[in-house]
Structure 1
Amino acid sequence: MSTLHEFTTWEPLLHVLRSAHSATPGALGGHVAGRIGTHAYSMPMPWGTMFTMHGQAPDAADRRPEFDAVQRVRRALAQADTDGVSFVAGMSPDGPAVLHLLDFGPAVEAEVSGPLPGALLLVEGAVPEPWRRLPDPVPGAKLSPAADPAALESFLRERLPDAVGATEAELAEAEARLGVAMPDELKALYRVTRARWEDWNDDYESAMRVANVVGCQLLPLDELYIADAASRWSQWRFAAMEAEAVDTRSDTAVQGLVSSPGWIVFGHWDGDRLAVDLTPGPGGHSGQVIVLTREESIGAGLIADSLTQLVLPGRRRRNPRGRADDAPSAVAHVNSGSLRSVEAAAHPALEVLSIGLWEGEPFSLEPVVDLPRLRTLRAEPGTLADPLEISRLTGLEFLELCPQDWRVLLDADAVPRSLLAAGIQVRNDVDPLPVVDLANEILARWDRPLVTRTTLEGSLDPVA
């Protein structure tokens, strides 16, 4: 049985928090809130919000009680087989304490760095539109003139004479698992080395010699995979704001996508993944080598027209071509430092509208009501003249508003039914409990699992 919902599990952490805030009894509106996860935790402390990753202890010795208290909760999380829990605590110097534990459940994305709920997943399994896009067909796509499987294989055998290559049966097995035919260059590479650690006798230097010859750290043949949407997961509230890279120009070498059934990942370097691209853009070549960087969850860059060009000496690397400078942006930011009206943001290709800090008159959404591709709206508090205009945006997938604007929509039963996910825009220092109540009201409209709250009451030793 897990001890997660026992007051004694949390008692040391409550002592730490009460001691830290004893000089400011009214801190954070009378509550202290945070989140404890298996890999990170965050909670407000006098020196700022404490946030540590990967279970590492704070450096200062006098913060050992804090870390020990967190570890006590983490052990309970492991017992409960859950990744994390948010908490809201009210404590008195005289001893009484009330602790609310929030389990976000499967319909809410947790915010790693805070106690508030993240995006509300209104439709099970739904992902933002860019994550659903498939590559456009390019029937005229051809191999690069630089592609030469025979020359590639000959070069690799000369440089890696002791390598253990894959058999034809192993190559066929890899193709069956991937569900796509491997290009001849990729098969030539793995005929020379199948890149298994056991073939290198678990010797790191041997592996790096292969990496230096090939130009990247190779995945073993049986670990090749397709760069699908799941392999580039991103939280909804960030993914819903993406659009720019999806806009593929007519002369672009790499299609601006999140994923493709024709992207075969075969290697990596410094966290970036290399893939052979079988679904190039109109200006590219079938079998070109692209990079999926760790900094981005959408789009890819071109680094070589072929594996031969990547590996052989004197290779020439190319840079990806981006969106034309005069093309309208699919993402528009309206605020004091950017576009200064919704009218200026409106055009048929607009997908994402973000209305930020603004001190002037609030905006009407009338200019974007009939836009065919608008799918995301985010608006800061006080920026909308009439939140009910949102009901006319019938193609919205993601909507992020402050609680006051959500209240207007909910009371009028005017929340767009097209939504796949939603966000509640609040500061990190607000009381999470009213935010959770609002989140549950939204989730209930879609008959989704609610955030559950467990209240624990106990007593701490009085402050001396």
Structure 2
Amino acid sequence: MVDQRLTCAGLYDFATWAPVLRLLRDHGTGQRSDAVARATGRIGRGSWSLPLERPRPRSGSAAQLDDRQEEFDAVGRVREALEAAGVDDVSFSVKFAPTGQATLRVMGPSPAVESGIGTAQPGALILVDGTVPEPWRRLPDAVPGAVPAPTADPALLARTLRERVPDAVGATDAEIAATEARLGVALPEELKAFYQVAHPKWEHGSETGYEAAERIDRAVGWELFPLDSFYVADAASRPSPWGHGAMEAVVTEPDAAVQGLVGSPGWIVFGDNGGGDRLAVDLTPAPRGHIGQVILIGHEGYIGAEIVADSLTDLVLDRLHRRPRGRRGEQPPVVAHVNIRGTASVEAAAHPGLEVLSIGVWDDPPVSLAPVVGLPRLRTLCAYPGTLADPLEIARLGGLEFLELGPEEWRVLLDAGAVPRSLSAAAITVHGRQDVLPTVDLANEILALWDRPQIVRTVLRGDLGPAARTAAG
């Protein structure tokens, strides 16, 4: 592709990058051959990935901040430029000449490409604007006959709170009505009864208000939010990169109390466990659950929630849910990992309910996709480079929305005009530490099929001066 120069103060100024480039030239672990050295990396506002030989701490000592201060200062210049340019992150490739000259190519950004996680390689390519993986489109199933738990007792809940926090101030009817209007959902009677007695309202500059909220938290054993911090934990509140989300699936086990969703319009968050996991009332339970049950939405995963108590009354009275979690049914898994430690073969993974097929590291000969051709729900295929006997078999998988392949497999599909047009997103997997430039070119070919914005490659050249040390060949 044609290299370009963009005018963006700071970010596309060679001087901004020079300290990082000197570190990579003098202390890098990039590719070296004869008199030419190359390196690739990524720098973002919140993190970065650079192939550097970092100083080891002295024996018996922990690593110190000062040991990496030069790296922090150098990266900081680029991060400030990213901030000023309104760019989240960029990847780059640099070639060093023995004369001190350096040729830097900065890749991105593109609104059609997600950031690579921990790598300079591009992340998922968003081929259809605004799309999300299938689990993020899934709404809760209707559960006719679902009712509150027998233990739900708004009057007992209110009396208990008055005894535990006698000086608490409750929310007004107008405040509760305003919250319901903002959320677009009626709060369950237990939650209204709780907040009519004790509203943990944080008032800026008011130590008394903060202490009152703490007393309510101690009385309940959880960190509770004021009404204006309530929110609906729908799927949009739990975003995921395409490459991760496409590997998930919504499964609700037969004896589960909570539907195995990403999020639900009936999950109303009202608190926290102090570790980032959200406490919510569930208005869309699974068949074995109850309307208004209390669930915990974990912050480290993307799918599902855990039941905590059958009712808010049970939560306050410390009658926590003790029933075992839902057991897997007899159906085969809808997400299959075929690799040396997982499912033994593509044949073993194939069944009508299969949604996600991941083919990983494989010691045996490359595999055929014939056993999964025609499966009605297969939407994701990830195949590690070199694992497919015939990449053109992918053209027979009519319902794919996400496809992740190695560069050679993508090349076969592109040359044959066989890239599935059903895709909403795609990704390229590379072996080890490879130059990002070929991957960017390949990504742009794929993006062009959907007329999506390209990854712009900006070339910068400059002189870094003499090397601090002679690099090993």
TM-score (norm 2): 0.91
Partner deviation per Cα, 1:329-388 (whole Å, 9 max, x = no partner): 011111122222211100111111111111222111111111111111011122111111
Matching residue of 2:119: 114
Distance change >3 Å, CA 319–CA 298, structure 1 → 2: farther
Map 1:267-346; keep pairs closer than 5 Å.
Answer: 267-269=271-273, 270-313=275-318, 315-319=319-323, 321-346=325-350
Point out the more displaced range, 315-324 or 124-133: 315-324
Q: Distance in 2 between matches of 1:286 and 1:185?
A: 11
CA contact 1:41–1:112 (8 Å) conserved in 2: no
Q: Which residue of 1 aligns with 2:21?
A: 14
Task: Give me the whole-angstrom Cα distance separating, in 1, the residues matched to 2:402 and 2:50.
Answer: 29
Residue 104 of structure 1 aligns with which residue? 109
CA distance in 2, matches of 1:91, 1:357: 34
Residue 194 in structure 1 maps to residue 228 in structure 2? no
Residues 295 and 63 from structure 1, CA distance in 2 versus in 1: closer, same or farther, beyond 3 angstroms? closer
Classify 1:274/1:22 alpha carbon distance in 2 versus 1 (closer, same or farther; 3 Å). closer
Aligned counterpart, 2:471: none
Selected match of 1:168 from 173, 191, 215:
173
Q: Find the partner of 1:385 among 385, 389, 399.
A: 389
1:423 to 419, 422, 427: 427
Out of 391, 408, 412, the residue aligned to residue 404 of structure 1 is 408
Aligned to 2:41: 34
Structure 1's unaligned 5+ residue stretches are 50-57
- Going from structure 1 to structure 2, the CA distance change for 1:142 and 1:31 (only over 3 Å counts) comes to same
TM-score, length-scaled by structure 1? 0.93
Compared with structure 1, are the counterparts of its residues 147 and 433 closer, same or farther at alpha carbon in structure 2 (3 Å cutoff)? same
**Partner residue of 2:270?**
266
Query: After alignment, is 420-429 or 315-324 more displaced?
Result: 315-324
| Matched letter for residue 342 of structure 2 | S
Give 1:326 shift: 2.7
- Which residue identity lines up with residue 46 of structure 2 in the other structure? H
The correspondence of residues 55-66 of structure 1 with structure 2, limited to 5 A, is 59-66=64-71
Q: Which range moves more in the overlay, 200-209 or 388-397?
A: 200-209
- 2:222 pairs, out of 210, 216, 231, with 216
Question: Residue 428 of structure 1: CA displacement?
Answer: 4.8
1:233 aligned onto 2:203: no
2-structure distance, mates of 1:110, 1:130: 21
After the TM superposition, which of the residue ranges 269-278 and 15-24 deviates more from structure 2? Answer: 15-24
Q: Is the 8 A contact 2:29 2:51 kept in 1?
A: no
Distance 1:257 1:202 in 2: 39
Residue identity in the other structure for 2:371 = P
Partners of 2:358 and 2:381 within 8 A in 1: yes
What is the distance in 1 between the residues matched to 2:55 and 2:270? 43
CA distance in 2, matches of 1:132, 1:334: 26
Alignment partner, residue 414 of structure 1: 418
Of 27, 51, 65, which aligns to 1:44?
A: 51
Which of 360, 366, 382 lines up with 1:362 in the alignment? 366
Q: Separation in 2 of the partners of 1:454 and 1:320?
A: 56
Equivalent residue letter for 1:207: A
Bigger Cα displacement from structure 2, 104-113 vs 172-181: 104-113
Residues 303, 319 of structure 1: 8 Å contact kept: no
Deviation at residue 194 of structure 1 after TM alignment: 2.4
Instruction: Count matched residues.
Output: 452
SS for the counterpart of 2:124 is strand
How far apart, in 2, do the equivalents of 1:101 and 1:23 lie? Answer: 16
Pick closer, same or farther for the CA change 1:282–1:200 going to 2, 3 Å. Answer: farther
Report the residue type matching 2:100 in the other structure. G
Q: Report the Cα offset of residue 126 of structure 1.
A: 0.6
Q: Secondary structure at the match of 1:266?
A: strand
Q: Which secondary structure state, in structure 1, belongs to the residue aligned with residue 19 of structure 2?
A: helix
Which shifted more, 165-174 or 66-75?
66-75
Q: Is the 8 A contact 1:224 1:264 kept in 2?
A: yes
Which residue does 2:457 correspond to in 1?
453
Whether the 8 Å CA contact 1:150–1:188 is kept in 2: the answer is yes
Q: 1:230 to 1:320 in 2, by over 3 A?
A: farther
Deviation (angstroms), 1:138? 0.6
8 Å CA contact 2:199, 2:213 repeated in 1: no
Any idea what the Cα deviations from partners look like across 1:391-440, whole Å, max 9, x if unmatched? Answer: 11111111000000001111111111111110101135100000000001
Residue pair 2:268, 2:280 contacting (<8 A) in 1 also = yes
CA distance in 1, matches of 2:52, 2:17: 17
What is the CA-CA distance between 1:318 and the residue it aligns to? 3.1
User: Which letter maps to 1:328?
Assistant: P
Q: Cα 1:351–1:388, aligned 2, differ >3 Å: closer, same or farther?
A: same
